[in-house]
Structure 1
């Protein structure tokens, strides 16, 4: 059952709608143009003795302008991503464009940097996705009504750079918001008993993982291949091209192995240790993580952030090793069913997955960081394994292939929680998340109120009659 709507009168409707429109930011495309405050933008002159006409410009935010055609392009982009535009008015769309321009303008004022290589990586991902959807790059270019691939890429580069500035500015505002237990308690108390949210059925699950052993010969084969890549790159070959052709990391392969990271970025420790130990322009020796073997090339170091590229190769596993692992996990299941050992004890002493081993195999929900998984929001592959299990039952052994790495698993349901009305003690994590979101909404609203007052903003023509959620007209 979906979460019951909370009729929270303490949430300002203006701010809530502004936050709702913020969700469009990942799909709305805009034309970006930089102008000086004193400049007059024109596409035609009426007469030499008449004033110049600003043709198509409907708004200015700081150094950015918005054209009437940008609204049409935004509708086109949402439609291209499969979104519905029937309930979005032109005034709402302009309001969203004004927000994005203000975010991007303020990002520049705050010296938020977005590198060209980062934007290029984003562009490669988006272009690959659109090419898959439409069938060819030529069709993508035609869809956006551009005359050539070069013209399209130039146009799209500016769009993505502004989108990245916008998202980084949003992130800066939201990341600064923290919430205390007292604020969570007060938030919960203000919700009327009849309007408390209802949380759907949940379960807690645990797993045991057995990984097939990789021979030393296969490991050395991968290390030698990475060393040969390193030598060729040092002699002039392109690291990015090698990553596209050979890397087995699906998250970065399409954009040449590119990642931007800092010390807090959630990468495995071994990867971060090597990355932050390299100088700019240096290529690492091959090193191992749970995902396989890597080499890293550091492109740029900017304070606490680094931009890098990497290549991942995974050693092959023999059929004999697969058979041994399958037999081992089947034996573990039998010992648990025969009551020789509990599931938690088997996970702690026999599982090959160090992330869950110490907790008796208990899985952590990556979205909430607690042990509960709501059935309607569970990963489909996990749901398929556990949805019909009773508490304490164990799946049959099954093999999972993740990024080319095969492993065998057993999963059990350790606890089932029925659908229930929110309880402060039992559902603290979820309530905290709701309270934090409300505080973030208010922080965004306050930010808009302050920055609108400080920034040159002008809206032209019929759009001045729009009922905006933010005070763009400074009335």
Structure 2
């Protein structure tokens, strides 16, 4: 793998880094080719500050350490040089991102961070010493820059294609002892059955919310009621609060109610896939809401769970005995919309195909299939879906490969992906070389004295230093 490919791939893999780092005000490049104190580099009209490098390095160092990797400050500088180069030419080529896309990515990042603090927004705010509103605004420019750079990178490489012949040539060019080692992989299919919910349990949830709604009308704090009774882990500890909500972030049933409330109004109980809710609108700014809500899902009894397990046992027995095929059982019984229309096949979201490295399976999945061979079906196991709803499922191992070095017969898709990435990296390298030659770039090596993988200063800027 070439130096340029390493650098390009590292940049591709980066997510927003040091999102909460408060950079100092940008200084402007001085006249006569000098670089102002505190500025590491200038790329066109974009500036890299020493504080930006230091903040990004600290954030990335922790991220890399978790993966058993290391990163240097010089690598961070070079990643930032690449980002600034793409931002500079994105403006020239009119490559922009929509502010709605920026907002959606900020919202996802905020939600992920809140979950890291156990769903407690106050703990997040205490840790960073600022409110979520301030954190969001500090993210905005950084998120916009990253998304713009990613869009520019896509624009540069989107037309790169690779033929089967090129994949074969790429494979042939790799020494056998350098071919990627492939861990045990499996292809999986599942059948899912959700336990029934008794009508009495549904009514109990509605009655409880009506009781809380009345207590709020009588003067009790909605926030206090949410802390005491809401089952939403993402907001209960913060009094049910969600800020800056835009359309498309919540399920449609929730938004249909929330966007039709008046400030201070508390909704009647209503149902979504998560359970039953009441919502209080705090503030509405155009198409953006601040609100509080209380979630109470209907209780699933032990009898409901046992019944679902028994159904799952019966389905498995019917498949094993040959009374019905696995595919027929998926079509007739499975209640998971994500897999029931694909013969139960589980797609790997990280790779986009059906193969799963067993070392990357979540703990519940790993233990469910432990000891099974190709064609075997697991016993029913309790599972929580993306909405944290309990269900039982059985899993069949459709295919299983033992650890091996990559080969064209078993791993064509993986090799094609690597070969395509190599070709895209070459396209990026050619683009970088071309744009460096025509872009004003100055690097101040008084701080880090880096030896870069790429020659970032072209002849005209280098001569201005002499």
TM-score by length of 2: 0.69
Query: In the alignment, what sits opposite 1:192?
Result: 172
Instruction: After TM superposition, give the deviation of residue 131 of structure 1 in Å.
Output: 9.6
- Measured in 2, the distance between the counterparts of 1:128 and 1:351 equals 30
Query: In the alignment, what sits opposite 2:54?
Result: 72
> C-alpha deviations, 1:276-327, integer Å up to 9, x for none?
x99987899988765556899998999xxx9999977643323332232122
Q: Does 1:445 align with 2:435?
A: no
Conserved in 2, the CA contact under 8 Å of 1:214 and 1:321? yes
Conserved in 2, the CA contact under 8 Å of 1:106 and 1:169? no
Q: Any residues of structure 2 matched to 1:68-467 within 5 Å, and which?
A: 68-81=50-63, 83=65, 88-103=71-86, 110-112=95-97, 113=99, 119=106, 122=109, 125-126=112-113, 129=116, 140=127, 149-150=129-130, 160-176=139-155, 177-178=157-158, 182-192=162-172, 195=175, 196-219=179-202, 246=230, 248=232, 256=242, 271=251, 314-402=297-385, 403-424=387-408, 426-449=410-433, 452=436, 455-462=439-446, 466-467=450-451
Q: 2:6 aligns with which of 10, 16, 35?
A: 16
* Secondary structure of 1:462's aligned partner: coil
- Measured in 1, the distance between the counterparts of 2:418 and 2:351 equals 11
> C-alpha deviations, 1:2-44, integer Å up to 9, x for none?
xxxxx5xxxx52243243255454444655456585778xxxx
- Measured in 2, the distance between the counterparts of 1:282 and 1:64 equals 44
- Measured in 2, the distance between the counterparts of 1:25 and 1:103 equals 16
Instruction: After TM superposition, give the deviation of residue 407 of structure 1 in Å.
Output: 1.0
Instruction: After TM superposition, give the deviation of residue 406 of structure 1 in Å.
Output: 1.4
Instruction: After TM superposition, give the deviation of residue 355 of structure 1 in Å.
Output: 3.1
Query: In the comparison of the two structures, how many residue pairs are matched?
Result: 431
Query: Which moves more between the two structures, 368-377 or 62-71?
Result: 62-71
TM-score by length of 1: 0.68
Q: Taking structure 1 as reference, are residues 430 and 245 closer, same or farther at Cα in structure 2, changes over 3 Å only?
A: farther
Query: In the alignment, what sits opposite 1:45?
Result: none
- Measured in 2, the distance between the counterparts of 1:132 and 1:247 equals 11
> C-alpha deviations, 1:335-376, integer Å up to 9, x for none?
333333333332222222233334443322222333322223
Q: Does 1:61 align with 2:43?
A: yes
Instruction: After TM superposition, give the deviation of residue 205 of structure 1 in Å.
Output: 2.3
Conserved in 1, the CA contact under 8 Å of 2:56 and 2:76? yes
Aligned-pair Cα RMSD in Å: 5.2
* Secondary structure of 1:204's aligned partner: strand
Instruction: After TM superposition, give the deviation of residue 212 of structure 1 in Å.
Output: 1.0
Conserved in 2, the CA contact under 8 Å of 1:344 and 1:360? yes
> C-alpha deviations, 1:199-226, integer Å up to 9, x for none?
3322222222111112345446667888
Conserved in 1, the CA contact under 8 Å of 2:271 and 2:277? yes
